[in-house]
Amino acid sequence: SRRIIEYFHFGVYGIFSELGLAHLRSWDFWFIMLLVVLLWFVRLYLHYCSQWLVLQAISVPVAKFQLFPHTVELCYQNSLLLTREELAMVVVGPLTLNIVMLLMVLIRWGCQQLFGSFPSFLSKFIMAMGLWTVLDPLAVFVVDAFLGRLTYRAEKPIADAAKLYWLFSRTEQSGIPGALITVMLYTVLFIISSTVLSLYFLRLHNEGWLLDVFKRTHGDEATFFVPLDLEISNQELSYIMKKAEQWRGINGERRKV
């Protein structure tokens, strides 16, 4: 567990470092911020379009589907859906983003294997998309809460986080099981999206140099003795330096250490 915490802490630090928050005047920082803003819309519309496709697949009529910069109004009659169908509506948005993110990571890995490199622009694109994939349930919840969608109103869409609550409240007279299931689903989705982003960030982003840095800063000293890599232990280095200091030439020359 300690190793996992170290990975997580290092990953978060590395992500903020890559975002360039310490260099607010650099072009790189503003370029990444532009990517983050643009990918807000990509994330948002992928999330709700996947929900619309599910409704079409199960033949549920959609009363309203309207796009806005901050949200999407997707209205349908919730009573027409079975429990498993409403559950699918809750998870399909974040799950779609995770699938898209995983596909991009696989493409990145394939390019690395075939060509040995990958454009820096696309690496940053994948990183920003991964961040929004992790934060998507929270972003949707915050907007829904601000718009008052946590309460049930027939003419308004219900927040994703409240769908199962109101479903169980209607069918079982208690929404608590629905709320607990929602928390469990979002926890699993968070673990999946965080794992995918961490694997990409440590092993593929910028040719995986962050994983090398992590190993060098957190690994045991014994693991760094690789003769073919010209790496030596502290004891051997100390011996070499002392031997060099003791060396004397024919005419009294000394080696500078």
| Domain ranges, ordered by start, for the chain | 2-219, 223-257
pLDDT reported for residue 3? 64
Instruction: Note the pLDDT tens digit of each residue in 41-68.
Output: 999 999 999 999 999 999 999 999 999 9
Q: How far apart are CA 73 and CA 65, in angstroms?
A: 5
Q: Give me 155's structure tokens.
A: 């003419």
Q: Give me 250's structure tokens.
A: 């024919």
**Distances in Å between the alpha carbon of 83 and those of 5, 121, 175?**
36, 42, 13
Residue 75: which H helix or E strand, with range?
A: strand 72-76
Q: How far apart are CA 142 and CA 117, in angstroms?
A: 38
- One DSSP character per residue, 235-246 reads HHHHHHHHHHHH
Instruction: Note the pLDDT tens digit of each residue in 155-179.
Output: 889 999 999 999 999 888 888 999 9
Q: Among all chains, which residue has been given the structure tokens 């011996």? A: 239
Q: pTM of the prediction?
A: 0.76
Q: How far apart are CA 49 and CA 58, in angstroms?
A: 14
pLDDT reported for residue 237? 81
Residue 45: which H helix or E strand, with range?
A: helix 27-57
